[in-house]
Amino acid sequence: MGSFITAFPRQIDMARAASRDQWLHHPVIGDPSWDTFQREPGNPIYRGTPPFAWPVNGFLFHDPRSSCWYAYVGLYPEGYWPAGGCMLFKEDASHAWKNMGIVLNGDAGMYDGDGTRAGGTPDISVIYAEGKYHAIHDWADPTNHRGGLGYAWAESPEGPFHRSVKPVHEDSGQRPIMGRYVRAYAPTLFRRSRDWFILCMMSTPRNAGGTWALACMRAGQPEGPYAPPEILLAPQLDTFHPPLAEFYPAFLHESTVYAPATSVAKNRSFQVIYKAPLERAHEPAAWSIAQQGSAWHDEPGTSGEQGIWGQTFSGQVVRGADGREVLRALSFSKTPDNRGSVHLSWRPWNTPYKDGFILASAYAKSFAILPYKFGDFDLVAEIVAHGAWRVCWDCRGPLGPDKNGADAAPHPGMDTDRVEWAFQGTTTRIDRISPAGDRVTIGEAASVNAGDHRYLLHVVREGSALHLDANEARLFDQDCPGEPGRIELVADENASLYVNRFTVTGSLEPAWQPWLPEEGIAGAACAAGEWKRLRNPFFRFGTGYISQGPRSRAKWNVAGSKFRLVSPRHPRLGTGTILLDGKVISRVDFHAARKQASSVLLEFNATLGFHAIVLQVQEGVIPLDCLDVQREVEL
């Protein structure tokens, strides 16, 4: 099978690990992953049973005294409340995991109880220091109106754990931080040279969600008293922070603390991993991104895995029998019958990536996007696919989530303004979708001989000519004029694509990518009522938002080097301020003598990388529409 394109010598295999940063990695849209995690035999080691059907949080502990492995697993009912205690598992010499029973439980007579009923104590972390095993756990009363953190100690990882009389933190006495953070939960404990240090999550009262932050607390003794929590990473800060990401637990390696965070959108494979020197981990400025996306992959239909559920994976770095360092991970998922499940995986610590990527979608379609403009091109792809999926080109539609909050999914507008070649088993068809979402079939359904789920695709566009081959058979060969745009892969719900080759030969240019206002709202974790949604043709895609108060703000967390603010103007609108990575760069006047449809109001540049673009009210009422982002081509 030869290449039709000869005018452009550039040929790049976008499936190689060296090309991973050419793709978008997004907590809602999707995350193609080159990670090297391998599932261990025997998964899952536990499936939830009523009344605690969701064992979905936990902590992996490698005991420095015995070298034994332990898994502390939080017990939750379906829907999370009322939570239970913490269950312990121990690995034996044959690498089987034994259920050791409940190791930590609530007490009706203690601070978590109401005198009659015990509260929940599900999430725990354990360290060995100064001759004891020290644990920090979260807790909530039986109604989840009060909650926070508690301390316990034991002489063995297996307990019994002795709980302190007073809690480490209680949210009923916590003044809201940034106007919203009250509940501390999901803690990890560390011993530093001069203090005891807790990394924990913080969220809204009763842990109702909607916004999540990483916080820290410090004390001279493990049981406290601890200083009030301090926010380290949060979407409300003016720095890059992928939205809808929830931490716990963190892990330590060579004096550096690593804090992974998992997307709580419907696509739950996305991970961002932050790191900081342990001794400076109380300083927000000490934190940086170690890995943005491509750190984990889902395997729908394998061991019942439906994406990470609850918090992120719990990791521990140890040296293997061959002397190489290994990251072992405890993760949690849900089976198709809505039961929590507990899994073990591992990967080489110093080899996080391999050639060939996986795009999987447990609960919502997942996109792998090359954010450039492809003119004439020749694409050869080798894919092992399960479920329904599509390869798309000439993609010019908007990007972003459908909402702000847990279980967000890709915006419906992402399925517009494109040509797509869709596959379901051995059946395929070619459609053109207009910017309004109207679908026209340009290639009738055909049959592809792919009984082993393997596909060898060849897509060639030269001028208006389009040639499509699948598994050495010509399926389409005719005129199909198009306007250059992105190339994308889409895995529909509960599908997985194993992409071994994705070689593109042809013209490749930077292109403006329109990020929706919903991305700005999710990126700032806006509270309800900050923005009012309006349907109006004066917004670029027919829908936008109007600020509802002087504190309304939006934040796009994007990777790029050039940016354009797109917005309508109106006689009743005021002014806003644009910040780039925390620095004010411009005032934007949304006022005009006559109503004007959306256009570019401001254009600015930055060095190529991750950036936070904030729009906030300066005076009056302001609109919220799109941010265009362009990324330089670095190949």
Give the tens place of pLDDT for each residue, 389-407: 999 999 999 999 999 988 9
Q: Are 8 and 62 spatial neighbours (Cβ–Cβ below 8 Å)?
A: no
Residue 287 clears pLDDT 50, i.e. is over it: yes
- Confirm whether 11-26+362-510 and 513-630 share one CATH topology: yes
pLDDT bracket for residue 10 (50, 70, 90): low
Q: What is the pLDDT of residue 303?
A: 52
Topology given in CATH for the domain delimited by 11-26+362-510: Jelly Rolls (2.60.120)
Give the range among 50-54, 342-346, 470-474, 625-629 with minimum mean pLDDT. Answer: 470-474
Q: What mean pLDDT is predicted for residues 467-490?
A: 88
Identify the bridge partners of residue 216 per DSSP, sorted by sequence position.
Answer: 199, 230
Q: Are 416 and 424 spatial neighbours (Cβ–Cβ below 8 Å)?
A: no
pLDDT bracket for residue 1 (50, 70, 90): very low
pLDDT in tens, 156-171: 999 999 999 999 999 9
pLDDT in tens, 201-239: 999 998 888 899 999 999 999 999 999 999 999 999 999
Q: What is the pLDDT of residue 2?
A: 37
Distance CA 126, CA 66 (A): 15
Closest-CA residue to 40 (of 65, 66, 60): 60
**In the CATH scheme, what is the homologous superfamily, with its name and number, of domain 37-351?**
Glycosyl hydrolase domain; family 43 (2.115.10.20)
Distance CA 178, CA 88 (A): 36
Which amino acid makes up residue 588?
A: V
Show Cβ contacts of residue 621 under 8 Å, excluding neighbours closer than 6 positions.
546, 547, 572, 573, 574
Q: What mean pLDDT is predicted for residues 465-469?
A: 90
pLDDT bracket for residue 64 (50, 70, 90): very high
Q: What mean pLDDT is predicted for residues 113-129?
A: 96
Tokens 């302001």 identify what position? 622
pLDDT bracket for residue 482 (50, 70, 90): confident
Q: Retrieve residue 566's tokens.
A: 């797109």
Farthest-apart Cα atoms in the chain, separation? 79
List the end-to-end C-alpha distance of the chain, in Å, as a whole number.
25
Domain boundaries of the chain, sorted by first residue: 11-26+362-510, 37-351, 513-630
Q: State what percent of residues in the chain have pLDDT above 90.
A: 81
Please give the backbone phi and psi of residue 285, each rounded to the nearest 5 degrees, phi first.
-70, -15
Q: What is the pLDDT of residue 362?
A: 81
**DSSP string of 101-135, one letter each residue:** EEEE---TTSTT--SSS--B---EEEEEETTEEEE
Closest-CA residue to 37 (of 273, 278, 365, 226): 273
Pairing of strands 213-219, 230-233: antiparallel
**In the CATH scheme, what is the homologous superfamily, with its name and number, of domain 513-630?**
Galactose-binding domain-like (2.60.120.260)
Residue 8 clears pLDDT 80, i.e. is over it: no
DSSP state of 267: -
DSSP state of 527: P
Average pLDDT value for the chain: 92
Q: What mean pLDDT is predicted for residues 35-44?
A: 93
Q: Retrieve residue 212's tokens.
A: 């999540």
Q: What is the pLDDT of residue 79?
A: 87
Residue 448 clears pLDDT 80, i.e. is over it: no
Distance CA 65, CA 47 (A): 29
Closest-CA residue to 550 (of 576, 571, 587, 572): 576
Residue 450 clears pLDDT 50, i.e. is over it: yes
